[in-house]
Amino acid sequence: MSVLAAFMVPHPPLIVPAVGRGGEKEILETTRAYTQVAEEIAALKPDTIIITSPHSIMYSDYFHISPGNGATGSFANFRAPEVTFTEQYDTQLVGLICHLADKEDFPAGTLGERNPELDHGTMVPLWFIRQKYKEGRIIRIGLSGLPLTEHYHLGELIAKASNESGKRVVIVASGDLSHKLQDYGPYGFAKEGPVYDSRIMDVCGKANFGELFDFDESFCEKAAECGHRSFVIMAGAFDGLNVNATSLSHQDVTGVGYGICTFYPQDENENRHFLTAYTQKLESECIKRNEASDDYVKLARASIESWVKGRHQISVPDGLPAEMLNRAAGTFVSIHKFGRLRGCIGTIAATQDNIAEEIIHNAMSASTRDNRFDPITEKELKYLEISVDVLGPTEDIDSPDQLDVKRYGVIVSHGFKRGLLLPNLDGVDSIEQQINIARQKGGIDADEPYKLQRFEVVRHY
């Protein structure tokens, strides 16, 4: 038996009367829709309820599936310790999901648990469900910092494991929408907030799951969304299937978006393999981009491919522009995959005889030695987007007023500690933000005095 249905739900603790203490009346529409979801789950009589939660254990490069036989939790952190939960995990289905992940070296499993207690992203849905349905074990799965494509594929693995298990399974995709919908809300207002809510309710209300990949990471961050990755996992569980979707409610009265939708799988549809279509599109775009890239980027790509495939450092090829051979300068090689940074390493000043050799060395380092990421693998090469920045001379400045986030990169220094940030980066919109990121990269504390330098770059795509 495959996944019977899925439900997109929010998790505001105030919706629980013992927590809200009257405040729950503000979102009565959400309460009514939530109650309907609980009734529909009860009618399905699932053996297992899989809950994906943004507030479970989260790693940058790994999906954590809660281990053990079960867990307990309460709303004690929300002034309602009397509301408690004791849940049993479906260890058999957990084992099957982990087995499928291990078979293809997919980063998901039960390692690294830091807190076994249930989180509120799990308990709020359970509070409604357990009023209507006492049976069924649960599985609790956290999100990750991995690309949306990996979240979608986790959903595919969940569906495959559910089908092989023969169990009746429902998925609860727990996640609030934007947290920046109202000036009076706890997180303030951002213009991206209402746009995100409108888009996500339209996409999910129509089950147009392919469009979930079109939400830019920077846009989602500015909207302060909570559940997007949770919704993408859910969508992956319905890959290749028509889905009957119903939008039950959407509210934003607290400054945070609460959306509820239901999803029931129908017959197969070859046009709804959204991950395959998306990756094919990206591969095609990368091929076109590679063909149009200049000599700087082509050299970086050749260096990366040679090093990743065989740990071989290429020599400087013939036919390069004179500047690359006759001038020395610091360079940065930035690698993106599916719109997310995958590696970036560079040099502030020249360390090699010329720009070409600088690019070759920094490209190798960016692909395998950026300690923020695992080394790039050969199967990733066709999806990589590469840019090369050639740095101009650094210039001491007296004030942040002499910076411009689009034009100048910044170097923040305190003694031997130094942090650098390139100019014109997605999501970096203010000088203060630019300085703070560079300061943090250099390990410079907020209360430590620092010196500022600026530089310009020529960016090659």
Name the β-bridge partners of 457.
391
Q: Could you read off the pLDDT of 279-295 as tens digits, one per residue? A: 999 999 999 998 999 99
Name the β-bridge partners of 189.
181
Q: Could you read off the pLDDT of 197-210 as tens digits, one per residue? A: 999 999 999 999 99
Q: Could you read off the pLDDT of 10-47 as tens digits, one per residue? A: 999 999 999 999 999 999 999 999 999 999 999 999 99
pLDDT at 123 over 80: yes
Q: Could you tell me the pLDDT band of residue 426, with boundaries at 50, 70 and 90?
A: confident
Q: Which domains does the chain have, with CATH numbers?
A: 3-272 (3.40.830.10), 277-460 (3.30.700.20)
The amino acid present at 229, given as its one-letter code, is R
Of residues 101 and 217, more confidently modeled: 101
Q: Could you read off the pLDDT of 386-399 as tens digits, one per residue? A: 999 999 999 999 99
pLDDT at 423 over 80: yes
Q: Could you read off the pLDDT of 63-103 as tens digits, one per residue? A: 999 999 999 999 999 999 999 999 999 999 999 999 999 99
Report the pLDDT value the prediction gives residue 427, as an integer from 0 to 100: 82
What integer is the mean pLDDT of 341-370? Answer: 96
pLDDT at 166 over 70: yes
pLDDT at 124 over 80: yes
What are φ and ψ of residue 145, in 5° steps? -90, 10
pLDDT at 1 over 70: no
Q: Could you tell me the pLDDT band of residue 339, with boundaries at 50, 70 and 90?
A: confident
pTM for this model (two decimals) = 0.87
> Do 223 and 195 form a contact (C-beta atoms < 8 A)?
yes
Q: Could you tell me the pLDDT band of residue 2, with boundaries at 50, 70 and 90?
A: confident
Report the pLDDT value the prediction gives residue 212, as an integer from 0 to 100: 98
